[in-house]
Amino acid sequence: AALRLLAVLHTKDTRHPFCPPAVWLVPGLKPHAFLADLERERPAAQFLLRACPHVLPLRERIGLFRRLVRSDKNALGLLALETPPSTLIVVRRSQLVEDGYRQLAALPVAKLKGTVRVRFVNDLGLDEAGIDQDGVFKEFLEEILRRVLDPSLNLFKATEDQRLYPSPTSCVQENHLLLFEFVGRLLGKAVYEGIVVDVAFATFFLTQMLDRQRSSFYSFVDELASLDAMLYKNLTFIKHYEGDLSELELTFSYDEDVMGQVVTHDLVPGGRFVALTNENRYYGGFHSGHRVIQWLWEVLERDFSPAERALFLKFVTSCSRPPLLGFAHLQPPLSIRCVEVAEDQDTGDTLGTVLKGFFRIRSGRDAQRLPTSSTCFNLLKLPNYAKKATLRDKLRYAISSHSGFELS
């Protein structure tokens, strides 16, 4: 739990800094001794670097990576000779991407890690003067990356602040996946050789590259600002809007520009024809895979008797029988809203909620709060219980109390 909390806090700080950088470093940690432990493959050092690498200063981490690269080159025999063998590629400036792809995409990894020399051919078909002593290759690498990452090629797109991410419509190019792999090879070569290239990727894309979106604490909404700041601002405005939502004239749909054509997507069946109102807005907190929702279905199916299930229906909808043609015809649709047990507030599974959950003092009120309902809207207000048994007992008490509108 402590490591997960540390990871959440560090991620939050990288997005919106709230403490000095030195806070994330381990006091008294000697980089040279730590690196020596890594070379000896000490489990503690390896775990620390894998679980929370930020405890080591960035300069030291870069130095460690350069040492690992040197060890890799030595294992490949690239440092054994004073003048190691090299691979020569001939590139026409007018066909930079095509020639580069043809000669480097299928190059064996061992040769790609070795020395690559470049000879440019000008527009007249003549070899350009100059001997490549790494300078020409650096020029080639920078220029080919500039061209292949250009949004006009439609392999990548740029955000408003010119941060790059894969284009959703890159599939119109027949070999787009091979081109992505080629870009990865070029960037890998740059990192391997310590060449700094002018490439800025969007934060949400880097997060996906690092596979962090699989974390239970990852929030797609928090990353949305790095893709579309205006969309993030508008969604945040709608989420916290306290006026009459119908005045905004919104529907449960969104428009997308696909190759110059506007395509409307429904968020719910027929959503483009359903106006957003204060009554049907989503309050958040639960989703179909949430543990509390899973517990609720298990309790209703396995623990409750038919009579108790009828009481549950009456508690939520004011009617102990389902609609004649099934719940698909229940209006408004049956909904479940999360109520925070300690504060009686609506919450969601965002980073802020996670942090609040870590720091909230458990006063025992989670065992006191009962489920409530709004039968006019077929809405069950369910606390975010920590245990399935608590949910079962409190729900059974609530539906059996016959307290009407006085239950709390």
Report the alpha-carbon distance of residue 349 to residue 286 in Å, rounded. Answer: 8
91 and 149 fall within a common domain: yes
**Domains contained in the chain, number:** 5
Task: Identify how many contiguous H helices and E strands the chain contains and give both numbers.
Answer: 15, 9
DSSP 68: H
Domain that holds residue 177: 86-160+169-193
Report the alpha-carbon distance of residue 304 to residue 312 in Å, rounded. Answer: 9
Task: Please provide residue 251's backbone torsions phi and psi, each rounded to the nearest 5 degrees.
Answer: -125, 170
In this prediction, what percent of the chain has a pLDDT beyond 90? 37
- Mean pLDDT value across the chain: 84
397 and 314 fall within a common domain: yes
Higher pLDDT, 360 or 212: 212
For residue 125, tell me if it sits in a domain.
yes
Task: Please provide residue 280's backbone torsions phi and psi, each rounded to the nearest 5 degrees.
Answer: -110, 10
In terms of Cα–Cα distance, which of 278, 271, 269 is closest to 248? 278
**Which CATH number do you get for residue 174?**
3.90.1750.10
For residue 211, tell me if it sits in a domain.
yes
> Is the CB of residue 244 less than 8 Å from the CB of residue 278?
yes
> Is the CB of residue 250 less than 8 Å from the CB of residue 275?
yes
For residue 80, tell me if it sits in a domain.
no
332 and 401 fall within a common domain: yes
Confidence check: pLDDT of 349 > 70: no
pLDDT score at 238: 87
Rg (CA), the chain: 29
CA distances from 187 to 60, 77, 124, 171, 201 (A): 22, 23, 30, 21, 12
Give the domain-ending residue among 15, 42, 75.
75
Report the alpha-carbon distance of residue 200 to residue 161 in Å, rounded. Answer: 10
For residue 81, tell me if it sits in a domain.
no
Catalytic residue among 19, 171, 319, 376: 376
DSSP 128: P
Neighbours of 348 (CB within 10 A): 17
173 and 206 fall within a common domain: no
Q: Could you give the maximum distance between any two Cα atoms of the chain, in Å?
A: 92
For residue 91, tell me if it sits in a domain.
yes
Report the alpha-carbon distance of residue 381 to residue 372 in Å, rounded. Answer: 5
207 and 253 fall within a common domain: no
For residue 229, tell me if it sits in a domain.
yes
Kindly report, residue by residue over 286-333, the tens digit of the pLDDT.
Answer: 778 888 999 999 999 999 999 999 999 999 988 888 887 788 878 888
313 and 371 fall within a common domain: yes
Report the alpha-carbon distance of residue 223 to residue 47 in Å, rounded. Answer: 27
Report the alpha-carbon distance of residue 342 to residue 367 in Å, rounded. Answer: 10
Kindly report, residue by residue over 219-243, the tens digit of the pLDDT.
Answer: 677 788 889 989 899 988 988 888 8
Kindly report, residue by residue over 92-116, the tens digit of the pLDDT.
Answer: 999 999 999 999 999 999 999 999 9
357: confidence class by pLDDT, cuts 50, 70, 90 = very low
255 and 310 fall within a common domain: no
107 and 68 fall within a common domain: no
156 and 263 fall within a common domain: no
171 is catalytic: no
Give the domain-ending residue among 75, 110, 137.
75
Kindly report, residue by residue over 138-150, the tens digit of the pLDDT.
Answer: 999 999 999 999 9
The Cβ-side half-sphere exposure at 390, using a 13 Å CA radius, reads: 16
177 is written with which tokens?
A: 């996946």
Kindly report, residue by residue over 18-48, the tens digit of the pLDDT.
Answer: 999 888 988 888 888 888 888 888 998 889 8
For residue 227, tell me if it sits in a domain.
yes
- Report CA torsion sign: 323, 328, 332, 333: positive
316 and 347 fall within a common domain: yes
- Note the helical H segments in 210-288: 220-224, 229-240
Give the domain-ending residue among 54, 75, 96.
75
104 and 47 fall within a common domain: no
For residue 18, tell me if it sits in a domain.
yes
Higher pLDDT, 131 or 176: 176
69 and 156 fall within a common domain: no
